[in-house]
Amino acid sequence: MGQEALTTVRPGSGEFFDAIAKRYDLLNRIISLGIDQGWRIKTVRALGLAPGMRVLDLATGTADLAIMTARRSAGVDVVGIDPSREMLAIGRTKVSKGGLDTRVTLLEGDAQQIAQPDDCFDAITIAFGIRNVPDRARALREMVRVGKPGARVAILELGEPRSGILGPLARFHVHVVVPTIGALLSGAKEYRYLQTSIAAFPEPETFAQQMRDAGMADVKVHPLTFGVCHLYTGRVPEGAR
């Protein structure tokens, strides 16, 4: 899919990410200066996983978080869901090369309408994907639906720091560095969407309240790297439905 095709699809959709799938991992490493892997480690740790548990990774993309979850959690199975076929194809190659075919399953799907039964996952994650979901409230309610009572939810998302001594530098990175590097490496001017979606994401406490409104309990906000990224954690309560 070329640059012309990108203009006909919704920014942030599965088709949008199909077009940049081959360079997505490289872009993540460069744009985040390699820090994104450390953020994912913190996300996995927040889940408190034990052998026999099942984890759902929404917006799994090329399966970085799904693979890390399986590697760092013995006896845990992961189901990754994403709307981009090209991202999933790359993810399946990575899963196979890592010898994780029996523990990591990747499926095409939508976070707003998860094709999984009620109460079937012990933990749910989504990294750098919730801002691309048109109806976030619906996606958050779906997480509550498919999570078992007590299931932990961990949402990793970028944001634009609005205060602090490093705020101006971080905003420069988001507004100038991210779209410039993205456009150069991906060959798509539409990669500027990443910058606009980060800037448009709600304030941390506003999004945390959206998680509570969807039915999650014990919601907490964990700023990472001077607020460039936040880890949001919560829990599916007993009698959530």
**The pLDDT value given to residue 226:** 78
Weakest-pLDDT range from 16-25, 64-73, 131-140:
16-25
Is 193 a residue whose pLDDT tops 90?
no
Average pLDDT over residues 161-175: 65
126 within domain boundaries: yes
pLDDT at residue number 173: 65
Greatest mean pLDDT among 4-8, 23-27, 188-192, 221-225 lies in: 221-225
Cα angle value 165/33/15 (rounded, 5°): 110
**Is the predicted pLDDT of residue 40 greater than 90, yes or no?**
yes
Q: Which residue has the higher pLDDT, 207 or 173?
A: 207
pLDDT on residue 10:
64
Residue 178 lies in a domain: yes
Cβ atoms of 73 and 52 closer than 8 Å: no
Least confident of 59-68, 167-176, 228-237: 167-176
Question: pLDDT value at position 227?
Answer: 81
**Mean confidence (pLDDT) of the chain:** 85
Residue 193 counted as domain residue: yes
Gap between the Cα atoms of 173 and 167, Å rounded? 10
Mean pLDDT for 37-45 is 95
What would the two tokens of residue 213 be? Answer: 């409104």
Has residue 150 been placed in a domain? yes
Provide, rounded to the nearest whole percent, the portion of the chain with pLDDT above 90. Answer: 62
Instruction: Tell me the two tokens of residue 240.
Output: 């959530």
Distances (CA, A) of 169 to 29, 140, 165, 172, 178: 19, 32, 8, 5, 12
- The answer to the question of whether 111 is labelled as a binding residue is yes
User: Would the annotation count 62 as a binding residue?
Assistant: yes
- Greater confidence (227 vs 75) lies with 75
- The reply to whether 79 falls in a domain is yes
- Overall domain count for the chain: 1
Residue 240 in domain? no
Instruction: Supply the CATH number for residue 132's domain.
Output: 3.40.50.150
**Domain coverage including residue 217:** 3-235
Is a pLDDT exceeding 70 seen at residue 192? Answer: no
What are 82-111's pLDDT values in tens digits? 999 999 999 999 999 999 999 999 999 999
Residue 199 lies in a domain: yes
Question: Is it the case that residue 21 has pLDDT exceeding 80?
Answer: no
| Mean pLDDT, residues 124-141 | 96
Residue 241 within any structural domain of the chain: no
CA 142, CA 136: separation in Å to the nearest integer?
A: 10
- Per-residue pLDDT reduced to its tens digit, 50-75: 999 999 999 999 999 999 999 999 99
Query: Which residues, 6 or more positions from 111, have their beta carbon under 8 angstroms from its beta carbon?
Result: 58, 59, 81, 126, 129, 130, 133, 139, 142, 143
Confidence of residue 160 (pLDDT cuts 50, 70, 90): confident
